[in-house]
Amino acid sequence: MGMTMTQKILAAHAGLEEVKAGQLIDANLDLVLGNDITTPVAIKEFKKIGVDKVFDKSKVAIVPDHFTPNKDIKAAEQCKCVREFALDKEVENYFEVGEMGIEHALIPEKGLVVPGNVVIGADSHTCTYGALGAFSTGIGSTDMAAGMATGKCWFKVPSALKFVLTGKPAKWVSGKDIILHIIGLIGVDGALYKSMEFVGDGLSHLSMDDRFSMANMAIEAGGKNGIFPVDDKTLAYVKEHSDKEYKVYEADDDAEYDAVYEIKLDELRPTVAFPHLPDNTRTIDEVGEVKIDQVVIGSCTNGRIEDLRAAAELLKGRKVKKGIRTIVFPATQKIYLQAMEEGLIRTFIEAGAVVSTPTCGPCLGGHMGILAKGERAVATTNRNFVGRMGHVESEVYLASPVVAAASAVLGRIASPEEL
């Protein structure tokens, strides 16, 4: 039996001719990633290992993005710990405030991941880089410590699910809607420790930003990783952002999948995940009257330039409804600057929104948009668990940037078609 795309990448990095689902392997790493929340724990464990340097100064990346700019003394102490470690170990890819961004947008932008790589990160949304044809997955801080010290990580080779995307999505349907539809279809544990492999002619209609958004949320279906085949769009992105060597892997024709799903993109509608799980999905036509208090546009899922353009298209010449707090988070400094040069920032401000420095902020209930008891938010983030964005009796509704923008204008969850 042949191998899936993920299995081929893992076999190559384990120095094996082939691997099979369930097999335990020890694989070489191309990048080890951490942030300001997970890295301090990893540093503590790293010191226990007894080595005095990281395995490769160019293959470790640390991005303080969750509670930065520092929201309080504890956050400042965490970032100080990370900063001192990065300087002491001469970590080349350490990105502090002013040059940092939300890690899963920044890492591809910096060209640190290319097709065929194996990447681990002490953040569950490390699966984002599967959009580039890499195997990337979230791990714990202890594995991050071991990875920084040895350049290796152990894995149980995942089995796979195949998602065959066909047709062309309608104007207001984006990668966020596609992945929310899929999560609603299979459930939050539907891909538990499996590789979610996206194929089909429909991929030609998906931008890289769409793909990043979809791979990012593979973990919300329980996936070990999400991965896209490498095509001309992938290679164009890689050539623009990186000079690293890459390798393209393709699934064998006789690769084995636990299940195959056909997703007809032309039949999809804008989709919203209701509280308190990402699989509690409804199309925009099924939402009903849901009044809101706050809108968040940004995060590692939907803070890229296409996301901001889409939101700005709807907000231009309109006003955010009185009393609706609307917060926009460009995912990196480069995206922020581009949005400014394109006039998007002006559009947001004139509409009555506020634009923040890149940060994970409200997505994890950290800062810059916490919800009070009984409040509701429409967010382009990736999770809507109980208390995720603040009070345990608040509610988060996950949606695309255009649904979020339309909701900001009308003060309730709304379709962009209503504007």
pLDDT value at residue 40: 95
Inter-residue contact 39 to 85 (CB < 8 Å): yes
Q: Can you read off the two tokens belonging to residue 139?
A: 């791990």
Which residues have C-beta within 8 Å of that of residue 261, sequence separation ≥ 6? 161, 162, 163, 164, 182, 185, 186
Element (H, E) at 35: strand 31-35
pLDDT value at residue 381: 96
Inter-residue contact 138 to 125 (CB < 8 Å): yes
What is the edge-to-edge ordering of all strands in the sheet holding 60-63? Answer: 93-94, 60-63, 31-35, 118-121, 135-138
pLDDT value at residue 202: 97
- Name the residue with tokens 């539907």: 190
Q: Which amino acid is at 147?
A: G
Whether 5-263 and 272-418 share one fold: the answer is yes
pLDDT tens string, the chain, 419 residues long: the values are 799 999 999 999 999 999 999 999 999 999 999 999 999 999 999 999 989 999 999 999 999 989 989 899 999 999 999 999 999 999 999 998 888 899 999 999 999 999 999 999 999 999 999 999 999 999 999 999 999 999 999 999 999 999 999 999 999 999 999 999 999 999 999 999 999 999 999 999 999 999 999 999 999 999 999 999 999 999 999 999 999 999 999 999 999 999 999 999 999 999 999 999 999 999 999 999 999 999 999 999 999 999 999 999 999 999 999 999 999 999 999 999 999 999 999 999 999 999 999 998 888 888 899 999 999 999 999 999 989 989 999 999 999 999 999 999 999 999 999 98
pLDDT value at residue 99: 87
Element (H, E) at 313: helix 305-315
Q: What is the DSSP letter of 122?
A: S
User: Domain segments of the chain: what residues?
Assistant: 5-263, 272-418
Instruction: Give the phi and the psi of residue 162 in degrees, each rounded to 5.
Output: -110, 130
| C-alpha of 71 from chain center | 22
**Helix, coil or strand: residue 346:** helix
What is the edge-to-edge ordering of all strands in the sheet holding 271-273? Answer: 281-283, 271-273, 395-398, 376-379, 294-297, 325-328, 354-355
For residues 91-122, one letter each, b for 16 or more C-beta atoms within 10 angstroms of the residue's C-beta and e for the rest, the string is bebbbeeeebbbbbbbbbbbebbbbbbbbbbb
**What gap in Å lies between CA 222 and CA 219, rounded to an integer?**
5
Prediction pTM value: 0.95
pLDDT value at residue 419: 85
Q: What is the DSSP letter of 210?
A: H
Fold of 5-263: Aconitase; domain 3 (3.30.499)
Q: Can you read off the two tokens belonging to residue 38?
A: 């997970």
Inter-residue contact 325 to 295 (CB < 8 Å): yes
Q: Which of 260, 179, 249 is nearest to 221 (CA)?
A: 179
| C-alpha of 3 from chain center | 26
CATH superfamily of 272-418: Aconitase, domain 3 (3.30.499.10)
